[in-house]
Amino acid sequence: MKKKSYFSFLCGKLIAGLLIGVIVFAATAAYMQGIYNISVRDGFDEVGEKYKKLIEYYDEGVYDSTFIDIITNLYAADYVRFAKVGEDGSFETVYESGYDVIPVELNTVHRWVYVTKNEELLAQEKRTTNINGEDWTIEYKKCDEIWNIDRVTDTVLSNSWNTTSLSSGYKYGNYLFRGSAELCGIYQYSLPSIRSYYIEGDTLHIGKVAEVDGYIEDRKGGKTWDFTDPANADKYTEIEIDGSATDLYIYQLAERPDGFLNDNADIFLAGSTGELENSCPREDSRTIVYSDSTHEYYVQNMSGSSLIQGEMLVTKINGQWYMIEYVMETLPYSSYLKPFFIVLAIFILVLSIGIPCLSAIKPYSQYKMAYENNRFKNNLIDSLAHNLKTPLQILGGYAENLKDTTSEADKNRYADEILATTSDMNKDIEALLKTADKTSLTLSKTSIRKCLEEVASKAGADIDIKGDAEYKIEKDYFNTALFCLVDNAAKYGNNGAKIEATVTSKAITIRNKTAAGNYTPGTGIAIAGRIMEQHKLKLTTDLKDGVFEAKISTK
């Protein structure tokens, strides 16, 4: 039987596993790409629906521009403009994105500080609106420290997260997409959180600031800043780091998408419905709806690796015409879902390698057992062919002598010798059969000294044992091997020579003096070697300078 390695059993399975893994990864990536692209558009439309709802409540007098200003921080776009359409078709702006302020959510979403360097804004009074009995406020403050904070927030990423989480695919889709989209956003999203501050006059003084993740928890290894003024240390209010609404979050808005707006200025920067109609014909590919009740335009451009979407809607609400336009830049699926794909690749790779490795173990073990059994059988055949030759010759000689003699005493002696020889041969054969049939072991820690003492007593051998150690063995079966070695040493030892045995935790050594011409290694050595292999031990024998040594060692 040709010897094979574990890899020969693994190779084919491994190639198949990796191939299947690549197919599964590619199919999952294609699926995620499709549902992500749909969700980005779907979520973009959902943001538009929220903006439209704001205008409906604005028209009904429920919301005012202050509340709209606050809400657009939470459902932010790169550019937003709401306008009332006058009787002459002109757009009278209700709200438009500002780019000279940094909104800070102060304690709750009801109270906001807008940090700015604009003197005109700083001169404005605090704006307050009451919604359902609760005040919502915006006040403008200076804060020199806040401009020194790195732009932690990635607006393109937050847009992607918002649009994805607002899509129907996220709300009603499968858990794979929902879980991956949320975890990827949370894993990548970051926001500066103020941990100590005080307000004095028209100035917000911030002390400690920490970068937090999408769970609003301290980001491990995230950036921190400390602007604490030691001279006014007693004025700072410390915010507990508990991820609650008591934290103060700094919203850093995107830059104005002037490139996109200028490329589509006939739509997004129009000053009236007249300008819009003159510059953008009905058959324009950007026109979605053009009717007496609604004018709707949608533009989609690629800017580098990002997707920029813009929508402009002129619609009638409660008899009044309004214009809504907004622009959002989002990430492609490969960038946004990158953490998911990394985890997916690792997971599939582990399965693609792990499953073939595990599935190859059983056939390799079966082959290895068959190979070892075959090797043992061949060794035994060689050993039997060599070692049974002598006792068979002896039996033949005794038989001839028995046939020729007439003395009753000689007949009895020859008969006894034949019986003794056949008994020894029978013991060897029984030991061989027992070894061949043994397929499993029941192991327990056992003193080797005690085993040697029992075996020496059974063999009638004089033995000197040094040391002791406990090995995990099946005692009776292991003793069979020891008996073969000790009995062999006793049979072929010089008259009066004492067998020496040394036991350590690493090896068991059995020595005896013998004459080279008197020593014949029997089948017992092969049997003992097989038993040791089954115990994960190694048996080596050596005859040198009239000393026979059998050494059992851990592999």
- Of the chain, the percentage scoring pLDDT greater than 90 comes to 42
d(C-alpha 147, C-alpha 81), whole Å? 26
pLDDT for 331 beyond 80: yes
The string of pLDDT tens digits covering residues 43-53 is 999 999 999 99
The answer to whether 253 touches 97, Cβ cutoff 8 Å, is: yes
Q: What is the pLDDT of residue 245?
A: 46
- For 361-554, CATH number out of 3.30.565.10, 3.40.30.10, 3.40.50.300, 3.40.50.720 equals 3.30.565.10
Average pLDDT over residues 488-516: 82
Q: What is the pLDDT of residue 520?
A: 55
0.85 surpassed by pTM: no
Q: What is the pLDDT of residue 381?
A: 65
Q: What is the pLDDT of residue 283?
A: 83
The string of pLDDT tens digits covering residues 395-411 is 777 778 777 777 778 77
Segment holding 463, helix H or strand E = strand 463-466
Q: What is the pLDDT of residue 260?
A: 93
Q: Closest Cα to residue 74, out of 206, 292, 193, 251?
A: 251
First CA to last CA across the chain, in angstroms? 24
pLDDT for 326 beyond 90: yes
pLDDT for 521 beyond 80: no
User: Maximum CA pair distance of the chain?
Assistant: 148
Per-domain boundaries in the chain: 6-102+147-191+222-233+245-336, 361-554
pLDDT for 246 beyond 60: no
- Of the chain, the percentage scoring pLDDT greater than 70 comes to 90
Considering 277-281, 326-330, 412-416, 494-498, the range whose residues carry the highest mean pLDDT is 326-330
The answer to whether 502 touches 508, Cβ cutoff 8 Å, is: yes
Paired strand residues for 31: none
The DSSP secondary structure of 196-251, one letter per residue, reads: EEEEETTEEEE-EEEEE-TTSSBPTT--EEE---GGGGGGPEEPPSSSSTTSEEE-
